[in-house]
Amino acid sequence: MSMKKCFAAACAVLLITAFCGCATRALVPVCILHTNDVHGHIAVERVEGWRKRLGGAAVLAGCVRGVREENRRAGIPTLLLDGGDIFVGTPEGSVSGGRAVTEVMNAVGYDAMAVGNHEFDMGIPTLEALAASARFPFLGANILNSATMRPPPFLTPYLVKECGALKTGIIGIITDSTPEIVMPGRTEKVVFTKPERALQSCMVDLAGQGARFIVVLSHCGLEEDRRIAASVKGIGVIVGSHDHTLLTTPVRVRRTGTLILQAGGSGLYLGKLDARVDPADGRVRRYRYTVIPLEVGRCSPDPAVGAIVKGWTARTVEQFDRAVGAARTDLPIGEDGESALGDVIADSMCAGTGAAIAFHNSYGIRNPILKGTITYRDIYKVMPFENTLYTMTLNGAQIRKILEASLAGQILHVAGVRVEYASRAPAGKRILAVTAAGKALDAAASYRVVTNSFLAQGGDGFTVFCEGREVRNSGVLDRDAMADYIRAHSPLSAEGFAPQRIVPR
In whole angstroms, give the CA distance from residue 235 to residue 171.
Answer: 10
For residue 13, pLDDT beyond 90 = no
For residue 22, pLDDT beyond 50 = no
Does residue 422 share a domain with residue 374?
Answer: yes
For residue 336, pLDDT beyond 60 = yes
In a domain, 167, yes or no: yes
| Helix residue spans in 375-491 (DSSP H) | 376-382, 396-408, 453-456, 478-489
In a domain, 144, yes or no: yes
For range 385-402, the mean pLDDT: 97
pLDDT tens readout for residues 264-294:
999 999 999 999 999 999 999 999 999 999 9
In whole angstroms, give the CA distance from residue 372 to residue 46.
Answer: 11
In a domain, 5, yes or no: no
For range 185-207, the mean pLDDT: 96
For range 365-391, the mean pLDDT: 97
Does residue 309 share a domain with residue 342?
Answer: no
For residue 475, pLDDT beyond 50 = yes
Look up the CATH number of the domain holding residue 494: 3.90.780.10
In whole angstroms, give the CA distance from residue 15 to residue 11.
Answer: 6
For residue 154, pLDDT beyond 90 = yes
pLDDT tens readout for residues 227-260:
999 999 999 999 999 999 999 999 999 999 999 9
Grade residue 21 by pLDDT with cuts at 50, 70 and 90: very low
- pLDDT of 60 reads 98
Does residue 172 share a domain with residue 77?
Answer: yes
For range 447-472, the mean pLDDT: 96
Number of domains in the chain: 2
203: containing domain: 25-314
- pLDDT of 450 reads 98
Does residue 238 share a domain with residue 376?
Answer: no
Strand partners, 181: none
Does residue 328 share a domain with residue 301?
Answer: no
Rounded to whole angstroms, what are the CA distances from 395 to 84, 183, 401?
40, 25, 10
In a domain, 405, yes or no: yes
In a domain, 188, yes or no: yes
C-alpha 228, offset from chain centre? 18
Does residue 333 share a domain with residue 301?
Answer: no
Task: Give percent of the chain above pLDDT 90.
Answer: 89
For residue 303, pLDDT beyond 90 = yes
In whole angstroms, give the CA distance from residue 93 to residue 42.
Answer: 8
- pLDDT of 333 reads 87
In a domain, 4, yes or no: no
- pLDDT of 351 reads 98
Does residue 329 share a domain with residue 192?
Answer: no
- pLDDT of 335 reads 67
For range 172-187, the mean pLDDT: 94
Does residue 337 share a domain with residue 240?
Answer: no
For residue 113, pLDDT beyond 90 = yes
In a domain, 358, yes or no: yes
For residue 24, pLDDT beyond 80 = no
Does residue 230 share a domain with residue 82?
Answer: yes
- What is the DSSP secondary structure assignment for residue 356, as one 8-state letter? S
- pLDDT of 53 reads 98
* Mean predicted lDDT score pLDDT of the chain: 93
Does residue 310 share a domain with residue 341?
Answer: no
Q: Give ∠ CA 88-90-96 in degrees, rounded to 5.
A: 70
User: Which of 314, 331, 354 corresponds to the end of one domain?
Assistant: 314
- pLDDT of 337 reads 81
For range 361-377, the mean pLDDT: 96
- pLDDT of 499 reads 80
For range 477-502, the mean pLDDT: 94
User: Which of 298, 314, 330 corresponds to the end of one domain?
Assistant: 314
For range 12-16, the mean pLDDT: 33
User: Which of 267, 290, 314 corresponds to the end of one domain?
Assistant: 314
Does residue 292 share a domain with residue 163?
Answer: yes
- pLDDT of 77 reads 98
For range 64-73, the mean pLDDT: 98
Rounded to whole angstroms, what are the CA distances from 221 to 114, 175, 239, 292?
13, 8, 10, 21
In a domain, 9, yes or no: no
- What is the DSSP secondary structure assignment for residue 426, as one 8-state letter? P
For range 88-103, the mean pLDDT: 97
Look up the CATH number of the domain holding residue 298: 3.60.21.10
Neighbours of 219 (CB within 10 A): 32
Does residue 232 share a domain with residue 359?
Answer: no
For residue 385, pLDDT beyond 70 = yes
